[in-house]
Structure formats: structure tokens, C-alpha cells
Amino acid sequence: MESFKKQKGHKEALEIEWDMDLALEQIGGQKEFLPLFLERFIHSARKDLKHMKDAFYSKDLEGVRAAAHSLKGSSSSFGMKGIYEVSRKIEEISRKGQFEGLNERLKKLTFLLKRAEGLLGNIQEDT
């Protein structure tokens, strides 16, 4: 991530705690493919977040847990540490059968995902 700090979008990268080096490692170091893979991650993350919210409002903790688990895995693989941590906590809370704290964490995930979208826009401009 150090090399990215000097580029546009570094604020978003820091807020979502993105390890760009890990992401690049996952795609074989081919920086030109980074926007495509980030776009795919965001698309998948949006679906997981929607499933979490729908399950939350339906009082389906198992649905929340399953979607959080999915997002936790993909965010870990792509170096999105901030998204990973919030997803991990949502999974933990829902596994315990609790609703308290979920709404705030869903809001935080929404914010972090918007930051990832901003990061994608900046990366696309730079490539």
C-alpha cells in the first residue's frame, strides 16, 4: 500500500485499510488488471451487503451470518482489511444470536464499500 499513498485515492485506501500489495499478489502482480478485479470485488461485496441488510430486516440471523461470512472471505483475499474486520464482527454477533450492534456495523460496511467504489474510480482514472 505504501506505493499507492502518493497516488490519487490514497485517502480511500487508508480508510478501508486496503493492502494493495496483497491484492496485486492475488492477481499475479499485473497492476493493469487491478481495476477489473477491484470492480468484481465491489460487485460481489454489494450483493453480500444487500443480503445482509435484507436478512437483518427479516430478522434472519443465519442469513446475516452467511452473507457476512462470504464478504469476510472475499475481503480477506483481496486485502480489504477494514471490510474484513467489520464483516468478521457481524458474523460473530449474528452467530451468537444477537441483533444489538448489527445495524451500526451494516452502516459502517455501507460507508466502507462506498470508499472502495471511490477508490475504484480513482484507480480507473490512473490507468
Q: In the prediction, which pLDDT does 123 show?
A: 81
Geometric angle at alpha carbon 17, from 13 and 18, rounded to 5°: 60
**pLDDT band for position 121 (50/70/90)?**
confident
CATH topology of domain 2-126: Four Helix Bundle (Hemerythrin (Met), subunit A) (1.20.120)
Q: Using one digit for the tens of pLDDT, what is the confidence trace for 49-102? A: 999 999 999 999 999 999 999 999 999 999 999 999 999 999 999 999 999 999
Q: How far are the Cα atoms of 21, 36, 105 from residue 68, in angstroms, in the given order?
A: 24, 23, 11
Considering just the CA atoms, what is the radius of gyration of the chain in Å?
Answer: 15
Q: Using one digit for the tens of pLDDT, what is the confidence trace for 4-50? A: 434 445 566 667 888 989 999 999 999 899 999 999 999 999 999 99
Domain ranges in the chain are 2-126
Q: In the prediction, which pLDDT does 3 show?
A: 38
Does residue 18 sit in helix, strand or coil? strand
